[in-house]
Structure 1
Amino acid sequence: MKKNKIGVRSEKQAIFRRYFIVSALLIFPLFLLNSCGIYSFTGTTMDASIKSVTIVNFTMATAGGPSNMALQFNEKMKEYYQRNTNLALLPSNGDLQLEGSITGYEVIPAAPTANDQAALNRLTITIQVKFTNNKDEEKNFDQSFTFFKDFPQNQTLSQVESRLIPLILDQIVQDIFNKSAGDW
């Protein structure tokens, strides 16, 4: 059986289309990943020339909070940068530098009720961060980052502190990372 010219042509076109689509799907991602040299799957937009980060130990500049909170925060920062970037963590003179202090630790009533009692209390932590980008001074900042968690009035701070502090610090670390490395 012979195929007519139209059937042969459409079959060749279908094969060509398949090869074109498969080729495009394989080649296009390579252009995306190679074009700028600054893309990463974690959402960071750091320049390829940035190779290192220094996280100077944050200090406690507030009277409240557990004595080891600054240490917890320092370790969370270092771990987050190591897990989400390929930057070398240096003790000093990194291309990126983060330093600062924990400036706020307070518990306030968050949801007052009709009989002048709080249904919820709110634990708020504030951290002042100075970020220095030694490759691009326009990205430097000195800013406070604050986050909070609420807890029921019938629980004391000492009952919830060990659970809430890590959650609050995790969010602040993520916010700092997004501002410094993600440029969001």
Structure 2
Amino acid sequence: MHRLKNVTLKSLLYCSILTLMVSCGVSYSFTGGSIPEGMKTVDIQYFENISALVNPTLSQNFTEGLKERIRNQSRLSQVSAGGDGIFEGFITDYTITPAAVEAGTDRAALNRITITIKVKYTNSVKTDDSFEETFSRFKDFSTQNTPLESQEEQLTKDIILMLTEDVYNRAFANW
């Protein structure tokens, strides 16, 4: 009998929380984002790479990474124009720089790939959530045993994951 009361009490509490979340006018997702009620579509435009150092696949990979993140973490439908939310911008910087010098030499013991993007997000449902912001992430690597060419694809993939998480959180979790 005592166990039945606990289950019933937990069920009531759970239903109460869900009702409260729905009645607040914001749709919550268990991935950490909140999508304004009434927002149904999103338009993610192509992020052109305008940095001095060009990685030929970076624009496509970033744009597709952002689309995938939003597709997997929200209920929004993607459209090619006129979405309730619009993401647009540029890859403004892609650099490979030394991060640490090898003792007694002029060679880099550790290098760093940095990607910087400028994002403009327009939210036509809740205009206060719109923003224009720069995001930057990096990943350190060594070329001691493996050349950059063998690592670059995975390094940029890792950075894109971090950047798309930052953009998603900024747009839908206000982080």
TM-score (norm 1): 0.85
Does the alignment pair 1:22 with 2:22?
A: no
Residue deviations 1:84-139 (CA, integer Å, cap 9, x gap): 11101011111111000100010111112332332100011111101111112211
Residue type matched to 1:74 in 2?
T
Does the alignment pair 1:106 with 2:95?
A: yes
Residue type matched to 2:80 in 1?
P
| Pairing partner for 2:164 from 173, 177, 181 | 173
The 2-side partners of 1:33 and 1:44 are apart by: 15
1:72 is aligned to: 61
Give the number of the structure whose residues are more often strand, by fraction.
2
Does the alignment pair 1:42 with 2:35?
A: no
Q: Which runs of 5+ in 2 are unaligned?
A: none
Are the counterparts in 2 of residues 33 and 39 from structure 1 also a CA contact under 8 Å? no
Residue type matched to 2:14 in 1?
P
Does the alignment pair 1:91 with 2:74?
A: no
Count, aligned residues: 169
The 2-side partners of 1:28 and 1:39 are apart by: 17
How many percent identity over aligned positions? 33
Residue type matched to 2:28 in 1?
Y
Q: Which runs of 5+ in 1 are unaligned?
A: 1-14
Are the counterparts in 2 of residues 110 and 150 from structure 1 also a CA contact under 8 Å? yes
Does the alignment pair 1:82 with 2:71?
A: yes
User: Based on CA coordinates, which of the two structures has the bigger radius of gyration?
Assistant: 1
The 2-side partners of 1:126 and 1:181 are apart by: 20
More divergent stretch after superposition (43-52 vs 120-129): 43-52
1:152 is aligned to: 142
The 1-side partners of 2:29 and 2:13 are apart by: 16
Residue type matched to 1:135 in 2?
V
DSSP 3-state at the match of 1:119: strand
TM-score (norm 2): 0.89
